[in-house]
Structure 1
Amino acid sequence: MRKINTIYDTIQKWFRLEKITNGLTRSELRSVRTTLYVQFSMFLMPTLLLVPVYYNEPPETHFYSYIHYIILVIPLIFAFFLLKLRYFNFSAVFTLVAINYHLGALTLAQADDPAPLGFLITSILSFLMISKNFKVSRFLMSILPLGLFISSQYHYRVLGGNALFGPPKWIVSAEYLIPPLILLCFLIVLVVYQFVKAVDIAETKLMEEHEKSEKLLLNIMPQEIAEELKQKGASTPRQFNSATICFTDFEGFTSIAETMSPKELVAELDRCFSYFDSLMDHYNLEKLKTIGDSYMFVGGIPTENKTHAVDCVLAAIEIQAFMNQMKDIKKSQNLPYWELRLGIHSGEVIAGVIGEKKFAYDVWSDTVNIASRCESSGSTGKINISGDTFELIKDFFDCDYRGYIEAKNKGKIKMYFVNGLLEKLQEKDNPNTPNSQFKERYALL
């Protein structure tokens, strides 16, 4: 049973072309798979008919049939290898040319063979096998078989022309047969084109909406958590032995906010938080949430690393530098300005997704509470860190020891103010920018 399942899985993977279709859109994937199915069908059907041809067709036709079978199969095999080499549209065109040639050979052999009806099918297949980006090729490979179909019908049914192995059995006048055939061909192209066009438009819109929803989902939670949710419908909470939590809070936010219109208030917050967001990817950090004027981010999750404390402090330095710059600009314009308190603590956390409808990626543990106390126990314009975080970043940053500071409901906590990078780890012209020596030391963590 296991061997049968293995064979079935192998066949299924072969038909899905998983190895060569990575990165394709739905529309492109559909075209490639249709090409494969047509190649397989057109190889299988004539092969199965080899024996019936021998017993059912006149002996004088056997050599002709087998020769053209070979002429069909060889190009189909070549087209299949083009498909494996990712020349998808070239493979589709080559396949259609081979099939139309084979149908043409059958049409020339027998005047009453149903082969010309195959031209109607191949004219439709061009829209399904060739990518929508190759419109000219689509129409050419659709018009070609329709032209061959009308020509064969005119030659045999109107002119009464002979085939290689016999004349036609019935003949009608041109004005009776040709106009309906032309109209039929026109309708086939028009209807199929409109159908495929509608599918392409729908798929394009679907992809755009999918990209929007993916982007929105990744703004809410980390990529690996989002993937887990999509695949399993749930995310398993994980424990991290060491992570760094950072809280920010604007000093005097309420009093200043009262002097601003709602639009101005939201615009100001958006300007600050958007800059904070830009630092998250740069320092491999994860934004968790904003609560009013408070911004919370974390380092070391969902992928564990040993640099999380240093990354958080680097981001914090840039955040305070940004707020100081905003303060100078506002001061020069005699406008009210916000100042920021920033608290950081490192320790053990549990991270996961809560909720069933409005998902939220969050962290829990006493580490979060202590980080919040570090923020509220800090000073405006400064970065206040706990002793645990200091032990992780002391080789990189210059810090002032504050002593044991009383924290609400947590007793006394050892705290430090971060002044900036150690002097020997700074760029000469920019004290907030790490130099090469910093990067060498950082790489050893």
Structure 2
Amino acid sequence: MVFSQVVELLNTIYSIFDVRIETYDVYKVETIGDAYMVASGVPNRNGQKHVGEIATMAIDLLAAVKQVALPKSVGKGHIQIRVGIHTGSCVAGVVGIKMPRYCLFGDTVNTASRMESSGLPMKIHCSHPTYESLHEIGGFSFVPRGEIDIKGKGKMVTYWLKGRDDMDEFNDSMVCKFVPKKKRTGTLLTDSSSTLISKSQSSTTDVNPMEDLIV
């Protein structure tokens, strides 16, 4: 793809994501290149809802991106993404003078990024803390990935998030049957716990002490 096509494709994907995440109690942290970071539990407090919000959103976005086809000039196929989720503490605050931004810092952010980079296309890769939090809530299904080497972290036990009871699974990717409730009003949260999700796109012809992040 030429550069202009890459920019147009990313704009399409990010526009879809921006609309979909409005359904959930999450906060879009930033986009860096083809990475899209979302958190729940910051800056608005939502008790223990953060992990469920992020997990459901991840499944929803995985289904949504399946509708995005590659440019005809590239060939047949659809866009694929990797998703990584981790739950833990982080530090958050507004930094900068000229262009101040609300930023997240800490090991939780790094681990969410590692979950994404060590994942596989069209799969949701979760850390053990995220698995435990979702298991406690109930209604989500997993497949153990086992113990793997994570760059900068050593060996970690991780899981694939397969779906939830009110969603269908088809050919190892999520088909969302679940119709989310209309946009909810968030509560300002400064709890250090949140869940982070980190997503990265690839084309194919292919603060509360707990925070959930998706990258």
Q: TM-score range by the shorter chain?
A: 0.7 to 0.9
Note if 1:433 corresponds to 2:178. Answer: yes
Q: Does the CA contact (< 8 Å) of 2:13 and 2:68 recur in 1?
A: no
**Number of residue pairs matched?**
171
Q: Does the CA contact (< 8 Å) of 2:59 and 2:176 recur in 1?
A: no
Q: Does the CA contact (< 8 Å) of 2:66 and 2:79 recur in 1?
A: no
Q: Does the CA contact (< 8 Å) of 1:344 and 1:384 recur in 2?
A: yes
Q: Which amino acid aligns with 1:433?
A: F
Change (3 A) 1:380 1:426: closer
Note if 1:364 corresponds to 2:105. Answer: yes
Hey, what does 1:376 align to over in structure 2? 117
- Hey, what's the Cα distance between the residues in 1 that align with 2:132 and 2:141? 12
Q: Does the CA contact (< 8 Å) of 1:426 and 1:435 recur in 2?
A: no
Deviation for aligned residue 1:426: 4.3
Q: Does the CA contact (< 8 Å) of 2:31 and 2:37 recur in 1?
A: yes
Please identify the structure whose Cα radius of gyration is greater: 1
Identity of aligned pairs, percent? 35
Q: 1:315 aligns with which of 47, 53, 57?
A: 57
Deviation for aligned residue 1:379: 0.5
Q: Deviations over 1:349-374 (max 9, x none)?
A: 11101111111111111111111110
Note if 1:400 corresponds to 2:156. Answer: no
Hey, what does 1:350 align to over in structure 2? 91
Hey, what does 2:82 align to over in structure 1? 341
Q: Which amino acid aligns with 1:308?
A: H
Q: Which amino acid aligns with 1:320?
A: L
- Hey, what's the Cα distance between the residues in 1 that align with 2:5 and 2:62? 22
Deviation for aligned residue 1:313: 1.1
- Hey, what's the Cα distance between the residues in 2 that align with 1:313 and 1:279? 13
Hey, what does 2:127 align to over in structure 1? 386
Q: Does the CA contact (< 8 Å) of 1:421 and 1:434 recur in 2?
A: no
Hey, what does 1:281 align to over in structure 2? 22
Change (3 A) 1:340 1:334: same
Structure with a larger share of its residues in strand: 2
Work out which structure has the larger RCO, using CA pairs closer than 8 Å and 6 or more positions apart in sequence: 2
Q: Report the TM-score when normalising by structure 1.
A: 0.36
Q: Deviations over 1:391-423 (max 9, x none)?
A: 11121211101112210010111211111113x
Q: Does the CA contact (< 8 Å) of 2:92 and 2:103 recur in 1?
A: yes
**Long gaps (5+) in structure 2:** 169-174, 182-215
Q: 1:410 aligns with which of 150, 153, 178?
A: 153
Structure with a larger share of its residues in helix: 1
- Hey, what's the Cα distance between the residues in 1 that align with 2:180 and 2:34? 33
Q: Does the CA contact (< 8 Å) of 1:421 and 1:432 recur in 2?
A: no
Deviation for aligned residue 1:337: 4.0
Q: Which amino acid aligns with 1:376?
A: S
**Long gaps (5+) in structure 1:** 1-258, 437-445
- Hey, what's the Cα distance between the residues in 1 that align with 2:179 and 2:20? 15
Change (3 A) 1:435 1:323: closer
- Hey, what's the Cα distance between the residues in 2 that align with 1:324 and 1:435? 18
**Secondary structure in structure 2 of the residue aligned to 1:325:** coil
Q: Deviations over 1:20-72 (max 9, x none)?
A: xxxxxxxxxxxxxxxxxxxxxxxxxxxxxxxxxxxxxxxxxxxxxxxxxxxxx
Hey, what does 1:237 align to over in structure 2? none
Deviation for aligned residue 1:431: 5.2
**Secondary structure in structure 1 of the residue aligned to 2:99:** coil
Q: 2:7 aligns with which of 261, 266, 274?
A: 266
**Secondary structure in structure 1 of the residue aligned to 2:67:** helix
Q: Does the CA contact (< 8 Å) of 1:400 and 1:416 recur in 2?
A: yes
**Secondary structure in structure 2 of the residue aligned to 1:326:** coil
Q: Deviations over 1:63-83 (max 9, x none)?
A: xxxxxxxxxxxxxxxxxxxxx
Q: Does the CA contact (< 8 Å) of 1:405 and 1:413 recur in 2?
A: yes
**Secondary structure in structure 1 of the residue aligned to 2:28:** strand
Listed as ranges, the matches of 1:184-333 within 5 Å are: 259-260=1-2, 262-305=3-46, 306-327=48-69
**Secondary structure in structure 2 of the residue aligned to 1:368:** helix
Deviation for aligned residue 1:319: 1.2
- Hey, what's the Cα distance between the residues in 1 that align with 2:141 and 2:177? 12
